[in-house]
Amino acid sequence: MRFPYSFLPSGDQTLTVEFGTAIDPQINDRVIALAADLADYPIAGVTEITPTYRSLLLRYDPHNIRGAALERALATRIAGLGDVAAAGREWRVPICYGGAVGQDLQDLADMKGMPVQQVIDLHLSAQYRVYMIGFAPGFAYLGGLPQPLHTPRLAKPRQLIPEGAVGIGGQQANINSVAGPSGWRFIGWTPVKLFDPKRAQPFLLAAGDRLRFAQITADEGAQLAARAANGDPLIAPTVMS
């Protein structure tokens, strides 16, 4: 199957393969499929691959492969991708709404003219797609946020948002993997650690995964957080067909 794509040189040791200009699941599928193909069958000289919403960034050693040769090799790989729609993993992520971390929940409900519970129900109703991991180690950018919840980021970012905070920024949702500054609007918190350098696989989620949120109480969250602090990942994926 033929897919539109273009090569964009991004420096003397990096190359971008761009499959489109929109946030689109099919475009993201192509990015993930090429990344998986390169992980399974590496091209000599390619030292790092980074999938994004609509493109794949490759870092390479020009002593081992030149940019033109890499483009030719990639064109061959892309031509052989075939049908890239693939199965993936699905996660069920516990979430506590509101509280100190979900500090924007009431304001968001007021902005939307909704009861708080309606905001929660809408957020729970969606299946989210992990489009990419970036910004911070393990940070998950999620598509699939219901349109009524689309909300611009804050005009002035806050300086410190905790790990596990679940937020909304524009048409995206997110889960904070580490504490740090953010301009997103946060409505809840999960005890699940998306990034744990002590785990064999430090990043819990990967591009192409799907997830749903499941509401828990603050007491349940505290109990799960204690387990997570001792290395328990808390959740495990199922494989979608």
User: What's the CATH number where 154 sits?
Assistant: 2.40.100.10
Number of domains the chain contains: 2
Residue percentage of the chain with pLDDT more than 90:
80
Same domain, 224 and 199: yes
Q: Convert the pLDDT of each residue in 8-61 to its tens digit.
A: 988 889 999 999 988 888 899 899 999 989 999 999 999 999 998 899 999 999
- The answer to whether residues 64 and 174 belong to one domain is no
Task: Please check whether residues 96 and 158 belong to one and the same domain.
Answer: yes
Q: At CB < 8 A and 24+ separation, what contacts does 33-38 make?
A: 33/81, 33/84, 33/86, 34/74, 34/77, 34/78, 34/81, 35/207, 36/86, 37/77, 37/81, 38/77
Residues 177 and 214 in one domain: yes
User: Is residue 1 domain-resident?
Assistant: no
pLDDT tens digits, residue range 185-234? 999 999 999 999 998 889 999 988 999 999 999 999 999 999 999 989 99
> What is the reported pTM?
0.85
Instruction: Check whether residue 179 and residue 228 sit in a common domain.
Output: yes
On the question of pLDDT at 241 being above 60, the answer is no
Give CA–CA dist 229/196, Å, rounded: 10
Q: Where a domain ends, among 79, 101, 127?
A: 79
Burial class for 120, CB neighbours closer than 10 Å (0-12, 13-18, 19+): buried
Q: Which of 34, 61, 79 is the C-terminal boundary of a domain?
A: 79
pLDDT in tens, 104-159: 999 999 999 999 999 999 999 999 999 999 889 999 999 999 999 999 999 999 99
User: Three-class SS string for the chain?
Assistant: CCCCCEEEECCCCEEEEECCCCCCHHHHHHHHHHHHHHHHCCCCCEEEEEECCCEEEEEECCCCCCHHHHHHHHHHHHHCCCCCCCCCEEEEEEEEECCCCCCCHHHHHHHHCCCHHHHHHHHHHCCEEEEEECCCCCCEEEECCCHHHCECCCCCCEEEECCCEEEEEECEEEECCCCEEECCEEEEECCCCCECCCCCCCECCCCCCEEEEEECCHHHHHHHHHHHHCCCCCCCCEECC
Instruction: Determine how many CB atoms are found less than 10 A away from the CB of residue 231.
Output: 10
pLDDT at 161 over 70: yes
Is 135 contained in some domain? Answer: yes
- CATH classification at residue 36: 3.30.1360.40
Specify whether 101 is located in the same domain as 161: yes
**Does residue 172 share a domain with residue 128?**
yes
Domain ends where: 79, 97, 120? 79
**Mean pLDDT of the residues in the chain:** 93
Co-location of 36 and 121 in the same domain: no
Residue 160 domain-assigned (yes or no): yes
Give the range of the structural domain holding residue 64, as residue numbers without chain letter: 6-79
Note whether 57 and 123 are same-domain residues. no
84 within some domain: no
Looking at the structure, tell me whether residues 197 and 123 fall in a common domain. Answer: yes
